[in-house]
Amino acid sequence: MTHLVDLNELTLPELEQLMAGWGQPPYRARQVLKWLYKGVGDFELMTDMARPFRQELARKARISRLRLEQERQAKDGCRKFLFALEDGNLVESVLIPEEDHYTLCLSSQVGCAMGCRFCLTARRGLVRNLKAGEIVNQILAVKPLLPPDHPLTNLVFMGMGEPLANLGALVRALSIITAPWGLNFSRRRVTVSTVGLAPFIPRLGQEVRVNLTVSLNAVDNETRSRLMPINRRYPLEEVLAACRAFPLPRHRRITFAYVLLNGINDDPAQARELARLLKGFRAKINLIPFNPYPQLPFAPPPEARVLQFQEILREAHYPVFVRESRGQEIAAACGQLVGERS
């Protein structure tokens, strides 16, 4: 199987070049991709192409897919999927129901090397990067499971892994995800989240126009380094400078995520310092009360403390939202489902 070309890894120009090398006209590439991104994985079912060509595809190419190992559904409608890759490694995707659409939380790596203390994925370390096709395949695996009147419109790269540590595959996947010949998602509805790999933040914006979320989680380097070891390499000042260099389209904002941990980063003085740090940014702030799990030594703040933190930021004229924890009873926090299987 390894010598066969995985069509899920190819962009339209690359597939057109492949077709030319096989002596086929360029339009064959669009024909194949039309079926591919409808979720058809069997060349024989691509019925508008001549049988000899379908047979040639079967000899020379393949269409990779993920295998669903486990699914859990929460009372709030949140669904968590555990997918097996072709090498047996496992990744997670989380489907979040909104009022009239779905949002899918995608993984970009098997495990993660960032070591954030409040994240279960970090306990595994990094196993490997996902290929572009494996990122795209998470979407193709979930779409058939959705009701037709409730479409999947929003994507967030906030699952397992640090997306900017896998920038090449991420950008390739995003080009497939947002292209008219691919999955045709609106760039305005795709968000990439990072712990703050400063050199890669501007590069992401230069390569592809998607939304950016940066996880701050602290307002001083000492606390942030304790929670997020990557801060020792890229401290707050460098991260914020990189965010200023991010080519932000007009009428867009950078989202700054802040996981609230009881007694650690939830003090009113820290809220005021966060407001000061973000002065001058076109910013939106997402406050995320910690999603507790027995293996991790943190707890969410009391609700009154969360609302006080939010109000301070609102008084500083930031759009600030409290993101409720979703799917707690199905281990929907990143890395929990894989952790149970390890």
Catalytic residue set: 92, 334
**H-type alpha helices, 123-166:** 132-142
Tokens, residue 45: 């079912």
Three-state SS for 270? helix
Residue whose C-alpha is closest to residue 208's, from 253, 249, 153: 249
In three-state secondary structure terms, 342 is coil
> 3-state class of 87 per DSSP?
coil
Helices (H), 80-149: 132-142
How many CA atoms lie within 13 Å of 315's alpha carbon, on the beta-carbon side? 10
DSSP strand E in the chain: where?
5-6, 61-62, 67-73, 79-84, 90-97, 102-105, 109-111, 126-129, 152-157, 190-194, 211-215, 254-260, 283-289, 320-322
